[in-house]
Amino acid sequence: MILLDGKKTSNDLKVEIAESVKQLKAQGKKTPHLAAILVGTDGASMTYVSSKVKACHLVGFNSTLIELPSETTEATLLHEIEKLNNNNDIDGFIVQLPLPKHINEQKVLNAVDPDKDVDGFHPTNVGRMALDMPCFLPATPFGILELLERYHVKTSGKHVVVIGRSHIVGRPMSILMSQKRKAGDATVTITHSRTKNLKEFTLQADIIVAALGIPEFLTGDMVKDGVTIIDVGITRVEDATKKSGYRLAGDVHFESVSKKASFITPVPGGVGPMTIAMLMKNTLLACERKENNFVI
């Protein structure tokens, strides 16, 4: 069994990105600048956003964090987005999700300039992705592709079973793995909460992407020998033996599944750190595209 080490791989990526930034600076070019909008005080979102800001500093990007109170109106948020769209120094920005219930998430995502949409959530980028055109890939699926490639996991002709159909992970993952690309060319089955006899599908899978958000859902009896496991889940579960009172659990029961797997991502330290590294990669790409008048 080989661990797909997202911590190490994301560090390698950040070193590569930092090197590109050094070269940009040496050539007198613009320093990439990422902005993040955080609405409210959700604990997990605050942690994610601060990790993103920290990563910017690590690779040499400029960063701007816009923190808005949870009672912010949709109109105010749309106004902040418009300001970032029109700010020439900002290369890319994200609106951290989830948003408070009174704000229409899709309306907000639609307002982001697709050329600055480094999360890859705007319908223009989703459509471009589906059509195999140059675009910003959503960071989590992008990170999974990168991990599969760097560990030379064979995907061509393999059966990939995706569990979960979210717009952020499951849906794009199913599209990307079916496309003609290095980590791709696979036969894909997408499963979800209404799938009957899920185990019948997972037992046939060469590669499983678990992205349903239920801790330790996928167990050893549900997978075949030699399977590759990508665990996207990360949930806080109570654990009295920990000082914090909780531990982080993936969607995969690591102990039983890892006994059968040929490759598996740990939680934490698997997909999570890759997501942040790919956001940095998209921001670098956004900056370079702008320098090249959007011809790449």
Active site residues: 52, 96, 119
Per-residue x/- mask for ligand GUN, residues 176 to 195, rule CB under 6 A? --------------------
In this structure, are strands 228-231 and 62-68 parallel, antiparallel, or unpaired?
unpaired
Taking the least distance from each CB to ligand GUN, the nearer of 4 and 168 is 168
Residue 95 or 261: which CB sits closer to ligand GUN? Answer: 95
Residues near 54 by beta carbon (within 8 Å), at least 6 away in sequence: none
Q: How far is the CB of 68 from ligand GUN (least distance, A)?
A: 14
User: If binding is defined by CB under 6 A, does position 139 make contact with ligand GUN?
Assistant: yes
CB 97 to ligand GUN: min, Å: 4
- Token couple for 213: 């958000």
If one asks whether residue 285 binds ligand GUN (CB under 6 A), the answer comes out as no
Which C-beta is closer to ligand GUN: that of 80 or that of 119? 119
Sign of the C-alpha dihedral, residues 293, 77, 55, 275?
negative
| Buried/exposed 137-153: b ≥16 CB within 10 Å, e otherwise | bbbbbbbbbbbbebbeb
CA nearest 163: which of 187, 138, 188, 180?
188
- Among residues 250 and 257, whose Cβ is nearest to ligand GUN? 250
- Please, what is the minimum distance in Å from the beta carbon of residue 190 to ligand GUN? 19
Shortest-Cβ-distance residue relative to ligand GUN:
97
Instruction: Confirm or reject binding of residue 46 to ligand GUN (CB under 6 A).
Output: no
Task: State the CB neighbour count (10 A cutoff) for residue 175.
Answer: 19
- What share of residues in the chain are helix, strand, coil (percent, to 5)? 40, 15, 40
In the bound state with ligand GUN, the residue whose beta carbon lies nearer, of 168 and 183, is: 168
Whole-angstrom distance, CA of residue 289 vs CA of residue 296: 6
Taking the complex as a whole, the smallest distance from the CB of residue 52 to ligand GUN amounts, in Å, to 9
53 forms part of the interface with ligand GUN (CB under 6 A): no
Report the residue from 39, 59, 168, 188 that binds ligand GUN according to the rule CB under 6 A: 168
Which residue, 223 or 276, is less far from ligand GUN as judged by CB?
A: 276
Could you tell me the smallest distance in angstroms from the CB atom of residue 120 to ligand GUN? 9
One-letter amino acid identity for 196?
Answer: K
d(CA 153, CA 151): 6
Q: Is residue 119 involved in binding ligand GUN (CB under 6 A)?
A: yes
229 binds ligand GUN, rule: CB under 6 A:
no
Site string for ligand GUN, 74-113 (x = CB under 6 A): --------------------xxxx----------------
CB 190 within 8 A of CB 174: yes
Helix axes 139-150, 170-178, angle to 10 degrees: 40
Question: Which of these, 34, 182, 163, lies nearest to 173 by C-alpha position?
Answer: 163
Residues in contact with ligand GUN by the rule CB under 6 A: 94-97, 119, 139-140, 168, 275
